[in-house]
Amino acid sequence: MRKVSMTLMLAGLLLAASCANQPENANVSENQTEQQGPATEIEQVQQSKVQRVAFVPTESTPDFVDAAERSVDAVVHIMTKVVRQSTTYNDFFGALLGQLYGYPGQTRNNTMVAYGSGVVLTPDGYIVTNNHVVEGADEVEVTFNNKVKKTATIIGTDPTTDLALIKVEASDLEYLTFGDSDNVRIGEWVLAVGNPFNLTSTVTAGIVSAKARNLSILGEGTSVESFIQTDAAVNPGNSGGALVNTKGELVGINAAIASHTGSYEGYSFAIPSNIVRKVVDDLLLYGETQRGYLGIRYAELTAELAEKEGLEDIDGVYVAEVIEDGAAKIAGMKNGDVITAINGKKVNTGTQLMESVRQFRPGDKIDVEVNRDGHHHHYTLTLLNEAGNVDVVKKGESFFNSDLGLMLQPVNQNDMSRLNIKSGLKIVEIRQGRFMGSGITEGFVITKVNGNAVNSKTDLENALKNNRSRRTSMEGVYPNGMVVNFYFN
């Protein structure tokens, strides 16, 4: 890993690459307990490097017992397996024949095993976790605090918020209820509950250090990053676990740490529960996340920008451009407006603005408070989707990708068989976007993006998000069967 001033790392995966017969349990080499109060006894065990610390509670010490008891049975351990096939040849002639005639040689399975956490949301087995915990998994196994193990199915994923919803067949499960993350205050005590380093049902305490943190780890485009920052200890294996308040309410899903080493150094980050609740509801109802858009391009309002534009204060988010036919334009907003609040909740950064808007769907009405020339105005906006309307996008239906400027439709099985393909998104319409200069026409079926098979909106977003090159590669086929591979910027 290249050393930088601070490396941001996803906190979820305790990852091991193995053949199918490799042991799946990881060994814990070191476990440290952070000292939180006056210690009366410290015993150092040299062999295992384990510190045991006993604390004397005082009147000012917060009581986490009830919150912990409510949480541990509702937070689960998740193990995922990704099976990949690789082909090997025993000798030179075997390799040559395979290249010439496609002989498979010897095929073996390589299994990637990963671990994370999840939070039970309903008695009948719906569980929320991070997308990066289950992304690409062929098998998902859930272990409860009472050691019961169940196989889970993936209901839906949303890479733009790094959330996923999975389901086990069960009843009468312990579960957590949502708290209001908008009401979480800086300095408030919280608990992180999860399975760091495969240490099941681990609870750590800390305070909320900051809100609306944008770490730029989910990629650009429609990604939503507005993390709750805490100093509760979070380590690999904690991803997808719960961040709860002292009432035992779920206020966040632990997702990332900032670290030079890959382990906890004092900074951990959770996805706010209000975003989690909205994404989970979308995945349950539609199979896809529904995103509402203001229809603006904005800029962070700095002292320099305020002076340049003749603004008296720097509170709010500057509207650099109101997009034609967007929600803001229709409502009467103008270039140069400064958004100061959404539904009465003050916003002072672009991250806060996006967190507020992403809690709503296309068709929802919101109140936007605007500072224009020193006077405050209120506008009622009807949020629109990427395509500029209020239609709900359901899994398997046509959808619009604003980055590429493409309206796409999943290919049905009949067309897949006719074209001899195993995946595909058909281009229904080409609009303004990165794809427009590619030379490809409507009707073309995209089968792979950046080497990844695409069958859905989520597949496409994952493939674009994970691209480390400036150029995007695509593979596909025309209706007449002609196969095309190409690149574009």
Closest CA relative to residue 161, chosen from 50, 42, 49, 291: 291
For residue 191, how far is the Cα from the chain centroid? 21
Does residue 336 sit within a domain?
yes
Closest CA relative to residue 353, chosen from 366, 363, 336, 362: 366
Active-site annotation, residues: 132, 162, 239
Does residue 310 sit within a domain?
yes
308/373 same-domain check: yes
| Ordered DSSP codes for 336-354 | T-EEEEETTEE--SHHHHH
Compute how many other C-beta atoms are within 10 angstroms of the C-beta atom of residue 386: 17
Does residue 177 sit within a domain?
no
Reduce the DSSP state of residue 417 to 3 states and report it: helix
Q: Give Cα separations from 456 to 33, 48, 156 (angstroms).
A: 44, 48, 11
Q: Which amino acid is at 105?
A: G
377/403 same-domain check: no
Number of structural domains the chain divides into:
2
361/437 same-domain check: no
Does residue 93 sit within a domain?
no
pLDDT of res. 60: 59
Domain that residue 332 falls in: 296-382
Q: What contacts 24+ positions apart, CB below 8 Å, involve 433-437?
A: 433/401, 433/402, 433/403, 433/404, 433/405, 433/406, 434/403, 434/404, 434/405, 434/472, 434/488, 434/489, 435/404, 435/405, 435/406, 435/488, 436/405, 437/488
pLDDT of res. 85: 55
418/377 same-domain check: no
Does residue 169 sit within a domain?
no
Residue that terminates a domain, selected from 319, 352, 382: 382
For residue 479, how far is the Cα from the chain centroid? 35
Q: Exposed, middle or buried, 60 (CB in 10 Å: 0-12/13-18/19+)?
A: exposed
344/415 same-domain check: no
**Strand 39-45 with 106-120, pairing:** unpaired
CATH of the domain at 476: 2.30.42.10
CA distance 68 to 121: 16
pLDDT of res. 154: 93
Q: Which amino acid is at 6?
A: M
Does residue 122 sit within a domain?
no
pLDDT of res. 48: 43
The secondary element (H helix, E strand) that includes residue 228 is strand 227-230
pLDDT of res. 266: 87
404/470 same-domain check: yes
Does residue 363 sit within a domain?
yes
342/406 same-domain check: no
pLDDT of res. 236: 92
318/369 same-domain check: yes
Eight-state DSSP code of residue 487: E
Q: Exposed, middle or buried, 302 (CB in 10 Å: 0-12/13-18/19+)?
A: exposed
Judge contact between 77 and 117, C-beta under 8 A.
yes
Query: What is the torsion angle, in degrees rounded to the nearest 10, for the CA atoms of residue 65, residue 67, residue 73 and residue 77?
Result: -100
pLDDT in tens, the chain (489 residues): 333 334 444 555 444 434 434 444 444 333 333 333 333 333 333 344 545 555 555 555 678 999 999 999 999 999 999 886 554 444 444 444 444 444 445 556 688 899 999 999 999 999 999 999 998 888 999 999 999 999 999 999 988 899 999 999 999 999 999 999 999 999 999 999 999 998 888 999 999 999 998 887 776 555 678 899 999 999 999 999 999 999 999 999 999 988 888 888 889 999 999 999 999 999 999 888 898 999 999 999 999 999 999 998 899 999 999 999 999 999 999 999 999 999 999 999 999 999 999 999 999 999 999 999 889 999 999 999 888 889 887 777 888 998 899 999 988 766 777 788 888 999 999 988 889 888 899 999 999 999 889 988 888 988 887 776 778 899 999 988 889 998 888
Reduce the DSSP state of residue 147 to 3 states and report it: coil
412/375 same-domain check: no
413/446 same-domain check: yes
Does residue 466 sit within a domain?
yes
